[in-house]
Each structure stands twice: as C-alpha cells, then as structure tokens.
Amino acid sequence: MIHDRSQALFQQAKTVIPGGVNSPVRAFKSVGCDPLFIERAAGSRIYDADGQAYIDYVGSWGPMILGHCHPKVVEAIQQAAQLGASYGAPTAKEIQLAEMVCEAYPNIEKVRMVSSGTEATMSAIRLARGCTGRDKILKFDGCYHGHADSLLVKAGSGAATFGVPTSPGVPADFAKYTLTATYNDLDEVKNLVAANKNEIACIILEPIAGNMGCVPPAAGFLEGLRALCDAEGMLMIVDEVMTGFRVAYGGAQQRFGVRGDLVCLGKIIGGGLPVGAFGGKKELMDQLSPVGGIYQAGTLSGNPLAMSAGIATLELLQQEGFYDQIEEKSAYLEAGLKQAATEAPFATCLQRVGGMFCTYFCAGPVTNFSEAAKSDTEAFSRFFRAMLEGGINLAPSQFEAGFMSIAHSRDDLDRTIEAASAAFRSLK
C-alpha cells in the first residue's frame, strides 16, 4: 500500500502537534510504522489520505458500534447543528438521553453528562471521596480510566503501550492515595483493604478490562468486590466507558449481574461525538453541586450535538436482535482468527467478550496485566503491519481491544480471516 500522503501529513503534524497526534497510541510508535491519516469513513471501512480502504476494528476505540456514518446518526447531528452547536444551558435532549441511560442501567437513578470518559471517572472519584470522607482509592494494574492524576497510576492503554504506567507529572503526594491490585485477584484486594481499613473511598474497575487487551472478570471476582465494598463502606465504581452499551445494552453489569454504586459511561453514548457520563443512586448523585457541595461542571457538558448523536445511536441499539447479531459476527470472527492463528509459529491466545476482542502473542489465558505483558509485542507489531498492508485496521497496540460493528458484513469477516492467515504465516 502507498502511504505517501499519510507520511507527509505526519511530518507536517509533528511540527505543530506533540508527536503529531492528539492521543499517544495513535502515533503507531509501538508498531514500527507511521500512522495512517484518515480522510473519511463509512460502514465498516475507513479511508486513508492516500485513498485506500481498510476494514476497521478500531471503531474510534469503541464508539462506532453502528459502523461509521450511520445515516440516522448523521441526520440527527445535522438537524441539531442547524439549531446551534452549543448553548451552555439545559436542553430537553439532555433529559431524553439521561432517561435512556437510567432505563438501561437500573442502578443509575440520576446521571450527569460530561465531555469525555476521563471527566466521567475523575468526577466519579471526587464524588466517592466526597461522599465517604475518605481519600484513598483502589484501582487495578493495567486498567485505564482516563488520564486524571489519581488514575494514571499503573494504567493500561497508551501508558502500558509506552511503558510509563505511572506518568511523570503525577505528584507522588497524589499517587500515594491510589492503591493498586492485580486484576482478578480478590485475595490481594481483601488484604489491601484490611491494611487500609476505613481509608478507601472506592474501588474503580473496568468490569471487562479493555485497556490491557481483553480480559474478562474471573468467576466470582465482581461479586467478591461488590460484597467487599458493602462490608467496608467503600463505593464500587464500574467504569463502563468501553463496555457500556457494547457487550449488552445494559453493559457488563447486565451481562454479569453485578451492579456498581457509581457507573461511568462514554464512547457509544455519544455516537462518535465527545461525551461521557457518570451516574448512580440519587442519594449519591444529589451530593453534587448545585444540590450538594461536591463541585463538578463543564461548558460543553450535555452538548446538543453529542446528545442528539447519542439518542439516535441508542434508539438503533434497541432494535430486536441487535446484540445477537454483534455476538454472532464476533463469534464467527473469533473462530476464523483462531483457525488462522494455527499457522503462527508460536502460541497465541484470542480472548473475546461480545463485540470486543484481543489476540495475545503468548499462551493464555491472560487474566491480569502481568500475564498480558508476557505477550510478544514484537510479534504483535509484525502481525499488525501485515494486517494493515492486507487492508485491515487493528488498534496499533497489544494492549487495546478490537471492536466489532453491526456494519461488518460476512464478506468483511472472511477477508479479515484471510488477511490474518497470511499475516500469521508471514511471522514464520
């Protein structure tokens, strides 16, 4: 494939944007090639600046479950834009989307809209600290909850990709309030909680870890955390930014039957526009300003374009059989990729929950970050480049999930499996 225009744009971008990108993983730094610059997208495809099409499993890192440019979502955004891009004042659309979220998540009685997943988790943490009067929080090694100071400790996603899980710039005085445990290790969590009795405000987790690839919760892990939070007066914050409306309409909490005290959402609820949300029982949410004293605000919060795109998206997700189709497509791809991987010269392990998946280049199962980190990232990067040259766009990091959309056709999946066979063979 020709990447002349993308390469020229990357050189130009680097002169005015740090690393040429507005979010680190996009720089393709860990996969040994220059990033594609994207010009447009439609359905299951994205098109680069050199005019080449790719079957896309990044889906803007999760939001595009309908595929790109769904006509109903485009129409909703266009109509909203004609009425004004932003007012900084309440609108009926905010209520509509909030009602849809509350209906989908029974543990959310009230929800506040923000502009990104980072804002959602950051605000939920502040609320948890304010409600409990405790400063410490507990997160899991390899889970990523955006880039707020308290949460950028042993983080997954780009932080793991570039080997700086705890970022310079996070004061040690802040980081000391963030305790970290091994994902899926309930005993370790219990020990940490016992050692910090009555000091931990909340446990925050990805109910399916999608920022160290794709790691499902072990049997009993979510239930154990729930019971521990109840026993110890801690809030359980379930970060469903990635999994919400993705692995089921009611997210991972519906799928696994365990409910958090606070829930963070983002990605799909904005239909591709910048959005985040956090919600929970009204006793907790009403401690936020202006009802309570815990402050949280945002100029673009509840933006009418984002609300419109979110409403249109969620309406389409309610269609009968939507998630069955996502499951069916994902299972088909999983089976095909596993078969293709038999041609790899070493062990691989594909993990999937609903429409999110990851292939590790090591023997599995992968249950936590230290196991994910055993994946041969050099082999991943060769596989990634071979897939890209074969017209398949995967996330440019071993530690990110792939995402299925409803727009992926059987033909797209077959082409992907064919490209993967060739890519695995090329690793010999």
Contacting positions for ligand HOZ (CB under 6 A): 23, 25-26, 61, 144, 157-158, 211, 400
Per the CB < 8 A criterion, the answer to whether 411 and 403 are in contact is no
Per the CB < 8 A criterion, the answer to whether 127 and 288 are in contact is yes
Q: Which of 239, 249, 329, 360 is catalytic?
A: 239
Q: Which of 54, 57, 105, 144 is catalytic?
A: 144
Shortest separation between residue 25's beta carbon and ligand HOZ, angstroms: 5
Tell me whether residue 157 or residue 368 sits nearer to ligand HOZ (CB atom): 157
Shortest separation between residue 232's beta carbon and ligand HOZ, angstroms: 30
Q: Tell me if residue 239 is catalytic.
A: yes
Tell me whether residue 117 or residue 224 sits nearer to ligand HOZ (CB atom): 117
Tell me whether residue 23 or residue 198 sits nearer to ligand HOZ (CB atom): 23
Q: Tell me if residue 323 is catalytic.
A: no
Shortest separation between residue 229's beta carbon and ligand HOZ, angstroms: 25
Six-digit token pair at 104?
A: 């989908």
Q: Which of 267, 323, 329, 360 is catalytic?
A: 267
Shortest separation between residue 233's beta carbon and ligand HOZ, angstroms: 31
Minimal CB distance to ligand HOZ: which residue?
A: 23
Tell me whether residue 130 or residue 270 sits nearer to ligand HOZ (CB atom): 270
Shortest separation between residue 321's beta carbon and ligand HOZ, angstroms: 28
Tell me whether residue 157 or residue 377 sits nearer to ligand HOZ (CB atom): 157
Tell me whether residue 107 or residue 351 sits nearer to ligand HOZ (CB atom): 351
Shortest separation between residue 29's beta carbon and ligand HOZ, angstroms: 12
Please give the positions annotated as active site.
144, 239, 267
